[in-house]
Amino acid sequence: MSAPKVLVASDLDRTLIYSSAALALTMPDARAPRLLCVEVHESKPLSFMTETAAALLTELGDLAVFVPTTTRTRKQYQRINLPGPAPTYAICANGGHLLVDGVSDPDWHASVTARLATECAPLAEVREYLEATADPAWVRKHRVAEDLFAYLVVERELLPEEWVKELAVWAESRGWTVSLQGRKIYAVPKPLTKSAAVREVARRTGAPLTLAAGDSLLDADLLLAADRGWRPGHGELAESDWTAPAITALPERGVTAGERILREFLHAGRPGAAA
């Protein structure tokens, strides 16, 4: 019997894949890398990675148990066509759904919803607060994801910083976390975590080592749960200079950070790699 593979759990958006808006923020026009489209929505290309990153991810898929770990809903995740072997496991809705061969594990989802029912304020209370306080002048959409958490799509340049801070304080007292990522503001229950789902995959696979990467506040618990983690030079974690033992803060930003993260995964995941 072959030894269990290393588990690699990575956030997707603004970590491994990038929307046009994210590309514009982090990639200069001069000497732009060749890009591969990995997501199409409503007949429009939506998300990209470099061709180099695509080759690295394909190599990684053969070496390790690669687990896409995202706050996206299942429907949003299933629009993505990542290069390499199809992942056996994927984590969606910030840990609310553990997909096994593309199908949500019902026992896992039931255990998550049971925790949410007892450990934090209900979603309805958070939705009511958002609808009462968010100004239509800068809110484009109110959304609920998988009946687990809420988010707003906003006009970022019009968004009052003080409102975000007030929301974070209000949410904290009710057991929720607030994360600002691009044009989206997420309100997510604290018991709803990527790390819990990743630990479950590690248990099922017997992985001897867990590696992780992510850029947002919602990825912090994932990085802390891993044996080694990486964050890019952009995003919420970089902006706050967040770090911890066994976490490497990379200087690269944008799609080049995605390439660097995949190289780090490959190096650390190979048999005999130095810690």
Q: Give the CA distances from residue 57 to residues 3, 27, 79, 138, 149, in Å, rounded to whole numbers and listed in that order.
A: 21, 20, 18, 37, 30
Predicted pLDDT of residue 87: 96
**Is residue 26 within 8 Å of residue 84, measured between CB atoms?**
no
**Which residues on adjacent β-strands are paired with residue 100?**
89, 103
> Angle at which helices 194-205 and 106-119 pack, to 10 degrees?
140
User: Scanning the structure block, which residue is given the tokens 């130095």?
Assistant: 274
User: Rounded distance, CA 207 to CA 37, Å?
Assistant: 31
* Stated pTM of the model: 0.94
Distant-in-sequence, close-in-space partners of 46: CB < 8 Å, separation ≥ 6: 19, 20, 37, 39, 40, 79
Predicted pLDDT of residue 1: 56
Predicted pLDDT of residue 208: 94
Predicted confidence pLDDT, tens digits, the chain (275 residues): 577 899 999 999 999 999 988 887 666 555 678 899 999 999 999 999 999 999 999 999 989 999 999 999 999 999 999 999 999 999 999 999 999 999 999 999 999 999 999 999 999 999 999 999 999 999 999 999 999 999 999 999 999 999 999 999 999 999 999 999 989 999 999 999 999 999 999 999 999 999 999 999 999 999 999 999 999 999 999 999 999 999 999 999 989 999 999 999 999 988 766 44
Residue 5: which of 109, 71, 85 has the closest Cα?
A: 85
Predicted pLDDT of residue 274: 46
Q: Give the CA distances from residue 90 to residues 46, 129, 132, 184, 228, in Å, rounded to whole numbers and listed in that order.
A: 20, 31, 35, 22, 19
Predicted pLDDT of residue 21: 82
Predicted pLDDT of residue 240: 94
Predicted pLDDT of residue 30: 55
